[in-house]
Amino acid sequence: MLLQRDAQGQPIAIRREDYAAPAFWIDTVDLTFDLDPAKTRVLNRMQLRRNPDAPAQPLRLDGDELNLARVLVNGQGASFRMEGDQLVLDGLPSAEEGAFELEIFTTCCPIKNTKLMGLFVSEDTFFTQCEAEGFRRITYFLDRPDVMAMYTVTLRANKAAYPVLLSNGNLVEQGELPEGRHFAKWVDPFRKPCYLFALVAGKLVAREQRITARNGKEHLLQVYVRAGDLDKTEHAMNSLVNSVLWDEARFGLPLDLDRFMIVATSDFNMGAMENKGLNIFNTKYVLANQATATDADYSNIESVVGHEYFHNWSGDRVTCRDWFQLSLKEGLTVFRDQEFSQDLCADASARAVKRIEDVRVLRTAQFPEDAGPMAHPVRPDSYIEISNFYTVTIYEKGAEVVRMMQTLVGRKGFEKGITLYFERHDGQAVTCDDFAQAIADANPDSELSRLLPQFKRWYSQAGTPRLAAHGVYDAQNRSYTLSIVQSCPPTPGQATKEPFVIPVNIGLLDASGRELPMQLEGEERITHGTRTLVLSRAGEQITFVGLDAEPVPSILRGFSAPVILDFEYTDAQLLTLLANDPDPFNRWEAGQRLGLRAALQGIAALATDITPVLNDAYIDAMRSVLRNPKLDAAFKELVLTLPSETYIAEQLDVVDPQRVHLVRDAMRAQLASALFSDWQQVYEENHDTGAYTPDPTSSGRRALAGMALNFLCLAARSSGDTVWPGKTLQRFKDAGNMTDRFNALNALVSSGHTLAAQALARFHAIFKDEALVIDKWFSLQAGAPDRGGDILPLVKQLMKHPDFSIKNPNRARSVIFSYCSANPGAFHRPDAAGYVFWSERVIELDAINPQVAARLARALDRWSKLAEPYRSAAREAIARVAAKPDLSKDTHEVVTRALAGN
Ligand code: B3K
Ligand code: ZN
């Protein structure tokens, strides 16, 4: 689609404030497809009527890369005109004249569709992707989520080439046609917006399972894959069964369809898509067996299968009025999938591990977004290309906003709120305001209800709020006063911010680490354990009484709000929290604060001396964690993982990526050598996890054993020891599952050991026919630590490998993104060659697949924080991309926003 520009030549931004209801409603859609890769014919018969509440206007239908053959109104040839990509019809029947039929016949070319939006072909199979604005690439339509219609779909195709024909809803008819063709007719019993339309046609096989719901109704669940992949569908099916049961048990939301289908494709722009009754998935989030998938893959599959299934209510039954409300469905559904995964955990420790992992994503990806040129509120005010707004802010921060609502109304209150939301809005296209109102209305006595208009600033104000907290102990009054000042930095288009409503979960410990009872000044009651303080003013003081000594405050337990907490903890206080906090999140957080503090000191001191970065107290604390028999392996692995380079960089005003990398490397080397004997013991105790199951306990042990191997190989690098690298190679060869095998391979590759080459070659030879494993093989190499600038030449080499294809998004991500977005030490080169490579790839990808290109374009979002010479070189690279004529809207928006950032 060509970039639409205004009179000044600027691309047109769509604004939330300009929302107007559509001039027409579409009640029914009857689509007939004659599927052919080179020329698919689409006959679209719709029943429309004017919206009596909208001013009379012509009908403007969206289209993109379609060949229009015929337009009939009530069976008669109609006059129409094209305005840009829109098909415009005047003189249609008035509101009083009522409904009319519009018939549109178009063709499109799925085989040439490299954007993977609309109808495309992947490995000889037809797939669709319509969210957000892909349906207009299939037929002319009112391509907006508030236009909801009933769909009947007939698919016709060659039977030998496309034996399986699927669409949304129920299969009502199928049969043979002349010349080796056949057809299938599907009727979706629910009204839906066109972004939820889907079809699939090809040679596929299905794992099937029948389940009976609580109300006794039977449902058929199907997972469709290519013939050789059926042995990798058990986990996805189990995840789907668990999702169906969980949504009914936790929120009373049943499966509303006779048949629910998941289909996997290896060419997909994102993770998966929640089309009604016909979810389409990236193979990465479906296929798993112990030989090919890691524990992380298993866990991601569970989350994504859950996420798409939960959309069946939060997204499909109740959808978004417009795309500015995207977080209405995405934030809520991420929250729901996070809760699902936590509820499947057997114990509190595993739940905490999941929470820590989720917060880590938020802080390493969303906080930088909130501080960068693409910062936007959870409900944005404008966009040029909506595809650019499927962001960590909409998804992960949106989920935190929903989580805060749950914290403010309680778990039971939140369930009541969800029930009211679906009762009130079933079948509608609504807004974030409608959601918050329903949760508040179901809980009229809650703090959420009392503070609702102010709470909703989380939807309208971008940026990460900061809490500056300071504690003073008054020995005479035996009291402790915590002063908390909240602020939020300016973001593009928002210079000043009003105070947020911030639920702060807090506990107090004594110096020996015992939890103290809490009494607030002026209150009679004494509470035990965690208590929620609700902040709503710019500055607040909270006084705790009845304290014999200065307590150690454990603030923001469970990460109760998506904020940055500044509190001048002493090292001793952090060590107390790390050793004793009953809240596992803050226990982990104390370790992260200590690690971060050491890293920042190391970076500041780099000009003089960087070793040792870590002090003895920190090393001893880490040793105690490793040796603590009461802590789970998964939790230990999280504590021993240092803050990432990206997270460390975010704490600095000016970032020298090489310094950050060097210091973090030095810290890792120190952990490796200082804890050498502990790592050996950890490995011996955890490496045998018996018959493979991906449960949290055994996957935690595999993760910790993998970490131990990594440190042992790292230590061997400086000591010259050959025993552990040798053992690691053996482990790589003997491993009974992909997690152990890949961890061993990773240990050899990331320590740069000479044995890595033969292990990599062997890995490729074993898995050459497993695309998802070959992605791992590419990604591991492109993301490996840089030694003397060797990674960029390797990446260029990998792009010439016969298995590489830039057109396949998973493969492009495994090489190009692993280097540009996930390997800062190798990407930020003083000679700027990383940036030049990035700009070339963005431009190359933009011509093929703008969504993938625009994602890659974001790798340099934080360029203005970089130290010289990186800063100028990065700016130049972005400017080079921005200057390219005919750039897609997607990439154009990202790079121009980046340049406007400074
Ligand atoms: N709703 C889809 C994402 C669509 C992205 C379009 N560019 C998957 C999901 O969030 O569940
Ligand atoms: Zn989603």
The pair of structure tokens assigned to 813 is 């991500």
At residue 270, does pLDDT exceed 80? yes
Tell me if residue 334 falls in helix, strand or coil. Answer: helix
Q: Is the peptide bond before 802 cis (omega within 30 degrees of 0)?
A: no
pLDDT at 701: 98
* Beta pairing, strands 59-61 & 86-89: antiparallel
At residue 154, does pLDDT exceed 50? yes
At residue 9, does pLDDT exceed 70? no
Ligand 1 center to 275 CA (angstroms): 10
Q: What is the number of the ligand 1 atom nearest to the C-alpha of 308?
A: 11
Which tens digits make up the pLDDT trace of 489-546?
A: 999 999 999 999 999 999 999 999 999 999 999 999 999 999 999 999 999 999 999 9
**CA distances from residue 633 to 239, 701, 894 in whole angstroms, order as listed:** 24, 5, 41
With the most atoms of ligand 1 within 8 angstroms of its CB, the residue from 270, 391, 894 to mutate is 270
Q: What is the number of the ligand 1 atom nearest to the C-alpha of 132?
A: 6
Q: What is the number of the ligand 1 atom nearest to the C-alpha of 307?
A: 11
At residue 650, does pLDDT exceed 70? yes
3-class secondary structure per residue, 773-829: HHHHHHHHHHCCCCCCCCHHHHHHHHCCCCCCCCCCHHHHHHHHHHHHCCCHHHHCC
Q: What is the number of the ligand 1 atom nearest to the C-alpha of 269?
A: 7
Phi/psi at 354 (nearest 5 deg)? -65, -40
With the most atoms of ligand 1 within 8 angstroms of its CB, the residue from 243, 274, 388 to mutate is 274
Which tens digits make up the pLDDT trace of 90-129?
A: 999 999 999 999 999 999 999 999 999 999 999 999 999 9
Q: Whose CA is nearest to atom 7 of ligand 1?
A: 387
CA distance 811 to 802: 12
Helix 584-605 vs helix 633-640: angle between axes, to the nearest 10 degrees? 20
Q: Whose CA is nearest to atom 1 of ligand 1?
A: 273
The kind and range of the H/E element at 534 are: strand 531-535
Phi/psi at 289 (nearest 5 deg)? -140, 170
Average of pLDDT values for 700-705?
A: 98
Provide the pLDDT confidence category of residue 4 given band limits of 50, 70 and 90.
low
The pair of structure tokens assigned to 605 is 């001191």
Which tens digits make up the pLDDT trace of 174-232?
A: 999 999 999 999 999 999 999 999 999 999 999 999 999 888 999 999 999 999 999 99
Ligand 2 center to 699 CA (angstroms): 26
What region does 171 belong to: left with phi over 0, alpha with psi -120 to 50, or beta? beta
Ligand 2 center to 308 CA (angstroms): 6
Tell me if residue 185 falls in helix, strand or coil. Answer: strand
Q: Whose CA is nearest to atom 4 of ligand 1?
A: 131
CA distance 401 to 198: 30
The kind and range of the H/E element at 879 are: helix 870-882
What region does 124 belong to: left with phi over 0, alpha with psi -120 to 50, or beta? left
Q: From the CA atom positions of the chain, what is the Rg in Å?
A: 28
pLDDT at 182: 99
At residue 3, does pLDDT exceed 60? no
Instruction: Write the burial class of residue 684 (CB in 10 Å: 0-12 exposed, 13-18 middle, 19+ buried).
Output: exposed
At residue 661, does pLDDT exceed 50? yes
Give me the percent of the chain exceeding a pLDDT of 90: 97
Q: What is the number of the ligand 1 atom nearest to the C-alpha of 311?
A: 11
pLDDT at 685: 98
Q: Whose CA is nearest to atom 9 of ligand 1?
A: 273
CA distance 181 to 176: 6
Q: Is the peptide bond before 132 cis (omega within 30 degrees of 0)?
A: yes
Q: Is the peptide bond before 612 cis (omega within 30 degrees of 0)?
A: yes
pLDDT at 901: 77
Summary mean pLDDT of the chain: 97
At residue 5, does pLDDT exceed 80? no
The pair of structure tokens assigned to 121 is 């072909």
For residue 547, give every residue at least 6 positions away whose Cβ sits within 8 Å of its Cβ, in sequence order, or none: 473, 478, 479, 480, 508, 516
Q: Whose CA is nearest to atom 10 of ligand 1?
A: 330
- Ligand 1-lining residues (CB < 6 angstroms): 131-132, 270, 272-274, 307-308, 311, 330, 387, 390
Average of pLDDT values for 634-655?
A: 98
What's the length of the chain?
Answer: 902
Amino acid at the residue 849: N
Residue 541 pairs in a beta bridge with 483
CA distance 272 to 307: 9
Q: How open is the CA angle 792-878-2, to the nearest 5 degrees?
A: 115
pLDDT at 606: 81
Contact 669, 719 (CB under 8 A): no
Task: Match 């008054």 to its residue by tokens.
Answer: 474
3-class secondary structure per residue, 187-222: ECCCCEEHHHCCEEEECCEEEEEEEECCCCCEEEEE
Tell me if residue 166 falls in helix, strand or coil. Answer: strand
With the most atoms of ligand 1 within 8 angstroms of its CB, the residue from 330, 386, 387, 393 to mutate is 330
The pair of structure tokens assigned to 519 is 């009494």
Ligand 1 center to 309 CA (angstroms): 12
pLDDT at 215: 82
Provide the pLDDT confidence category of residue 62 given band limits of 50, 70 and 90.
very high
CA distance 157 to 568: 68
pLDDT at 610: 63
Check residue 630 and report its DSSP letter: T
At residue 138, does pLDDT exceed 80? yes
Average of pLDDT values for 840-849?
A: 98
Chain centroid, CA 212 distance in Å: 31
pLDDT at 213: 87
Amino acid at the residue 115: K
Please indicate whether residue 609 or residue 394 has the higher confidence score (pLDDT). 394
Q: Whose CA is nearest to atom 2 of ligand 1?
A: 273
Q: How open is the CA angle 16-17-21, to the nearest 5 degrees?
A: 85
**CA distances from residue 435 to 332, 397, 422, 470, 566 in whole angstroms, order as listed:** 9, 16, 9, 35, 32
Ligand 2 center to 307 CA (angstroms): 6
Tell me if residue 540 falls in helix, strand or coil. Answer: strand
Contact 43, 103 (CB under 8 A): yes
Check residue 354 and report its DSSP letter: H
591, 592, 594, 595 alpha-carbon torsion, rounded to 10°: 120
Average of pLDDT values for 411-430?
A: 98
CA distance 87 to 671: 64
CA distance 878 to 896: 8
At residue 339, does pLDDT exceed 90? yes
CA distance 518 to 524: 11
Instruction: Give the active site residues.
Output: 308
The pair of structure tokens assigned to 541 is 């003081």
Q: What is the DSSP string of 468-490?
A: EEEEEEETTTTEEEEEEEEE---
Ligand 1 center to 393 CA (angstroms): 14
pLDDT at 2: 43
For residue 517, give every residue at least 6 positions away whose Cβ sits within 8 Å of its Cβ, in sequence order, or none: 526, 527, 528, 546
Tell me if residue 330 falls in helix, strand or coil. Answer: helix
